[in-house]
Each structure stands twice: as C-alpha cells, then as structure tokens.
Amino acid sequence: MDDGLARLVFAYFNPTVAAEWAPRILDGVWVTIAVSLAVVATGLALGLALAALRAFRYTAVNFAIVVFVDMFRALPPLVVIIILFFAFPYIDLPMSAFTATWLSLSLVLAAFAEEIWWAGILAVPKGQWEAARSTGLGFVSTLGFVILPQAVRMTIPPLVNRVIAVTKGTALGSVVALSEIVSQASSAASLAGNPTPLTLGAAAYLVIFVPVVVLGRWIETRFAWKR
C-alpha cells in the first residue's frame, strides 16, 4: 500500500480506534434522532397552527406572526441556541442543552413551515372557499377540511427540503455540549488522538439522513398533484 494511502487509512479509517469508540458514537446517534424527531413534531405543528391562525386575518395577530417568522428566518439557528442556553439563565429560565437545541430548531422550523403553508393557503383558488361556504360550512370547517388539505399537499416538496435542512442542524447542539453525534465524535477524536471517530460520525449522519432523503422523495412523489 502506498505510504500516503496507508497514513490516510490509519488516520481516518483505523479499525482499532473505530471499534473502541463506536459505542460512544452510537450514544450520540440516539440523541441526534431524539432531538430531530422532537424538532420535526414541534416545528411542523407550530408552523401549521400559525398559518391557520393567520388565515383569520386579525391584524394584530398577523403582525405578531409576521414578526416572529421574519425574526427566526433571519437569525442563524446557532445564535438562537446560544441565546437560549447562555442568556435565559439570567432571567431564571435555565435550559438543558437538549431543551435549548430542541426549542431553537423548532422555532426556526416553525417559522419556515408557517411561510410555506401560508403560501399554500394563498395558492388555493378563492373558488374553493366560496364553494365550501355555499354548502353551509363555517369558516373553521372550510379551512380545516377543504383549504388546509390542499395547501399541505401543494407544499410537501419545499417542506420536506426545509425539514431535512433544519434537522441536520442538530449538530449545532455540540456548541452547548449536547451529546449528539458531532460532540461525541469530536470528543472521541481528541481522546483517541486520531480522527477516525469523526469518520464514524460522518457515517452515522449518512445512515440517519439518507433514508430521510429517500423517504422525502417518496412522499413528494406519492402526494404530488397529478399532472
């Protein structure tokens, strides 16, 4: 084996180091999955609720929603995590690393999801509202049973992409010592004096997110409007 290739294998694909630190990386995998699932559930639910609330067109409420959305779309997720974790204890609201990461990414995802779903609501033809109301349905029933199902279906592709982008941000939790993949891999690499744990971390992300990407593509195809 060429000397350069041998050094590369020893540094990044060392089987002895990999076997020793794999359990630690696996611990980070479970934390990453837990945070990701919590972020998706909370972020999508909050985003949908805000989009539905915005449909009532209360001026003050809509203004507050727009401010929230614009702020969390503009702020880098890392900044939000740092503020929640380091600043909130000063007002007697301390958060664990898990909570700060989950809440930060959930708020960011909710902001993007709200805008995506709101665009979907606006894209539903006005005639759908009028037809539903003409059958005797109230505003809430029309929104819930006629408009939102169409809006959600139309917005699946951009929503899936945004969900994947935000959930990969769980790696930012390493800044506040969340024991997810990046944190565990970096710590293991330092203790081992070998970067092989970082390779394991990269492989772990592929194992987690490649199926998510494939599932997202299937969902887009399955629920796309027939052309």
Quickly list H helices, 55-96.
59-74, 77-82
Residues 148/52, Cβ–Cβ less than 8 Å: yes
The DSSP output letter for 113 is: H
**Residue-level pLDDT at 215:** 84
The DSSP output letter for 155 is: T
Place of tokens 């982008």: 165
In whole angstroms, give the CA distance from residue 38 to residue 106: 8
Number of domains into which the chain is organized: 1
**Which CATH number do you get for residue 215?**
1.10.3720.10
What is the domain extent for residue 54? 15-222
- Residue 149 falls inside a structural domain: yes
**Residue-level pLDDT at 47:** 95
Token readout for 5 is: 């290739």
- Residue 154 falls inside a structural domain: yes
- Residue 171 falls inside a structural domain: yes
- Residue 2 falls inside a structural domain: no
Q: Region of 212 please: left (phi>0), alpha (psi -120 to 50) or beta.
A: alpha
Residues in CB range of 200: below 8 A, 6 or more apart: 18, 21, 22, 25, 185, 188
- Residue 6 falls inside a structural domain: no
**Residue-level pLDDT at 165:** 86
In whole angstroms, give the CA distance from residue 157 to residue 14: 40
**Residue-level pLDDT at 105:** 96
- Residue 197 falls inside a structural domain: yes
In whole angstroms, give the CA distance from residue 39 to residue 218: 21
**Residue-level pLDDT at 225:** 56
- Residue 10 falls inside a structural domain: no
pLDDT values of the chain reduced to their tens digit, one per residue, 227 residues:
567 788 878 778 888 999 999 999 999 999 999 999 999 999 999 999 999 999 999 999 999 999 999 999 999 999 999 999 999 999 888 999 999 999 999 999 999 999 999 999 999 988 888 888 888 888 899 998 899 888 888 888 888 888 888 888 899 998 998 999 999 999 999 998 899 999 999 999 999 888 888 887 887 777 665 54
**Residue-level pLDDT at 1:** 56
Residues 200/25, Cβ–Cβ less than 8 Å: yes
- Residue 107 falls inside a structural domain: yes
Buried b (16+ CB within 10 A) or exposed e, 22-47: bebbeebbebbbebbebbbebbbebb
Quickly list H helices, the chain.
3-12, 15-54, 59-74, 77-82, 97-123, 126-134, 139-142, 148-154, 156-167, 181-192, 196-222
